Amino acid sequence: MAAPKPFLKWAGGKRQLIGEIDGIFEAIFSRFGPDFTYIEPFVGGGAILFHILSKFSPKSVIINDINVHLIDAYNAVKYNCKTLLEFLSQIERQYYQRKTEADKKKFYLQQRCLFNRLATNNCQSVIRKTALLLFLNKTCYNGLYRVNKKGEFNVPFGRYKNPKICDRENLNIVHKYLEKVTIISGDFAQTIHYAKKPTVFYLDPPYIPLSVTSCFTSYSSEEFNLDQQMRLKKFCDAIQASGNYFILSNSDSKYLYELYQDYNIKRVKARRSINSKGDKRGAIFELLITNF
């Protein structure tokens, strides 16, 4: 079976760091084999998750995110993939029936409004909302997930020529791989209760912005400020104290060098692809911080 790929575009996706993180997991695998637990408290689009699942096949996998719509999407793919594909195929057909960009934009805005209004009070409504999320994600500007202070998705239309909205093959593959994954939603700190030696955490929190203007995306109505970054540091300390392992990715910040001075810090080259200005995208540096 082919390897799974992220089924959502997600700002800050970690495909560009897979090579660096893969080297760390090679060392883990050489020591424990697949006999370890893997936990992602900020799963996002899941680029690292799907790589670890397909290459290393840990005995136990737990994913978490505070974004309930994102976690609903993972659950919909895991438990109701066939129905999700039916909804998504229908939206895709309706979208491509619109022949002009203006009509496609109008349809996009209608679906965005429906997504923001639709209550998820039963299984069918959760699946339908997930189909809308996937559609919006493939057709919105730059593949962003951003909400306003009311928690409403507000990303504008993206003007893609032929976006692949319903990737039936990959969704079926992801469905198979998620069968062994425990999916939870909430604060990152709750995931510590799932750790059993040996456990490896991969932590990919909202990054400390490199500048005020670079922080233009909100993934949920909750802010991940410096107080939250300090909570995360204490969480890493708890992982260390429990005899388990963590890999943390974050921006190349002097604050983090000082905060994590007792751990191993590696500066790695990545690529910025979500800046609102095209000429500001390109190679940057990020940090990988580990306790081993």
Phi/psi of residue 289, each to 5°? -115, 130
Region 265-270 average pLDDT: 91
Q: Which domains does the chain have, with CATH numbers?
A: 15-66+186-290 (3.40.50.150), 74-170 (1.10.1020.10)
pLDDT at residue 224, as a whole number: 84
Q: Which of 256, 269, 260, 247 is nearest to 226 (CA)?
A: 256
Is the distance from CB of 116 to CB of 152 less than 8 angstroms?
yes
pLDDT at residue 143, as a whole number: 87
Q: How many CA atoms lie within 13 A of 49 on its CB side?
A: 29
pTM assigned to the model: 0.92
Alpha-carbon distances, residue 234 vs 45, 189, 254, 287 (angstroms): 25, 10, 18, 18
Is the distance from CB of 276 to CB of 233 less than 8 angstroms?
no
Residue 24 has pLDDT above 70, yes or no: yes
Sequence-ordered list of residues with C-beta below 8 angstroms from that of 150, at least 6 positions apart, any chain: 221
Residue 151 has pLDDT above 80, yes or no: yes
pLDDT at residue 216, as a whole number: 37
pLDDT at residue 221, as a whole number: 43
pLDDT at residue 115, as a whole number: 98
Residue 141 has pLDDT above 60, yes or no: yes
pLDDT above 90 as % of the chain: 80
Helix/strand/coil for 283: strand
Is the distance from CB of 48 to CB of 204 less than 8 angstroms?
yes
Interval 66-110: pLDDT, tens: 999 999 999 999 999 999 999 999 999 999 999 999 999 999 999
Interval 29-78: pLDDT, tens: 999 999 999 999 999 999 999 999 999 999 999 999 999 999 999 999 99
Least confident of 8-17, 35-44, 99-108, 165-174: 8-17
